[in-house]
Amino acid sequence: MDGGVGRKVVHPAVEPLAYLIGTWRGEGEGGFPTISSFTYGEELTFTHPGNKPVIAYSQKTWKLSSGEPMHAESGYWRPKPDGTIEVVIAQSTGLVEVQKGSYDAENKSVKLHSEVIGNASKVKEITRVFTVVNEELSYVVEMETNLTDRQPHLKASLKKL
Ligand code: HEM
């Protein structure tokens, strides 16, 4: 008996992205034409509460030199059986995103572009591309601001713990 809580099963919509579920840790580097480049440590966690067609996502980053916290964000990934996906993210800076895009289960890649950005002072557009190759998760985040065309802001590689 499960006490009526419900048995934990992977929802069929989540199955193609089940390889993401778990905790990933690694390092990244950031930059932009208007700022000094920097490096960071990062932990990403994807959890699937079971039964619902959603993966919960949380990210935290820190300075490699001191461990001091940097940016953090969390949200929900909602894959659809037709290969599209929507992702909502709330950032520690106050910015919120609705991302839409597609996933390729065979190549373990997810491509997202912002459909909605809220409460941002400078950011006009954000794209995020995630790929898993040889059990390493890497991503690139690009952004466009009021002063700068779309350029990379972040790239990182992480391994599953
Ligand atoms: C700067 C956005 C993620 C660290 C900036 C700026 C923007 C921005 C608009 C100012 C650029 C300018 O003045 O022209 C974003 C967005 C993110 C993101 C939209 C996620 C999609 C991160 C992450 C980190 C980070 C994960 C750290 C690991 C920094 C640093 C600066 C910066 C160190 C320069 C100093 C500062 O302004 O605080 N970011 N950022 N950002 N970002 Fe990000």
Distance 95 CA to ligand 1 centre (A): 11
pLDDT in tens, 32-79: 999 999 999 999 999 998 889 999 999 999 999 999 999 999 999 999
Residue 3 has pLDDT above 60, yes or no: no
pLDDT in tens, 135-153: 999 999 999 999 999 999 9
| Per-residue pLDDT, 143 | 98
pLDDT in tens, 82-124: 999 999 999 999 999 999 999 999 999 999 999 999 999 999 9
* Cβ of 153 below 6 Å from ligand 1: yes
- Read off the pLDDT band of 1 (50, 70, 90): very low
Q: How many residues does the chain have?
A: 161
Q: How far is CA 73 from CA 10, 35, 63, 113, 133, in A?
A: 24, 21, 16, 17, 24
One-letter amino acid of 145? T
Full 3-state SS string of the chain: CCCCCCCCCCCCCCHHHHHHCEEEEEEEEEEECCEEEEEEEEEEEEECCCCCCCEEEEEEEECCCCCCEEEEEEEEEEECCCCEEEEEEEECCCCEEEEEEEEECCCCEEEEEEEEEECCCCEEEEEEEEEEECCEEEEEEEEEECCCCCEEEEEEEEEEC
CA dist., res. 114 & res. 86, Å (int): 10
Residue 6 has pLDDT above 70, yes or no: no
* Cβ of 122 below 6 Å from ligand 1: yes
* Cβ of 61 below 6 Å from ligand 1: yes
| Per-residue pLDDT, 27 | 98
Average pLDDT of 15-29?
97
Distance 18 CA to ligand 1 centre (A): 29
Mean pLDDT of the residues in the chain:
95
Position of tokens 């809580």? Answer: 5
- Read off the pLDDT band of 129 (50, 70, 90): very high
Q: For the chain, what percent of residues have pLDDT higher than 90?
A: 93
Is this complex scored with an ipTM above 0.90?
A: yes
Q: Which residues pair with 55 in a beta bridge?
A: 77
| Per-residue pLDDT, 50 | 81
CA dist., res. 57 & res. 73, Å (int): 8
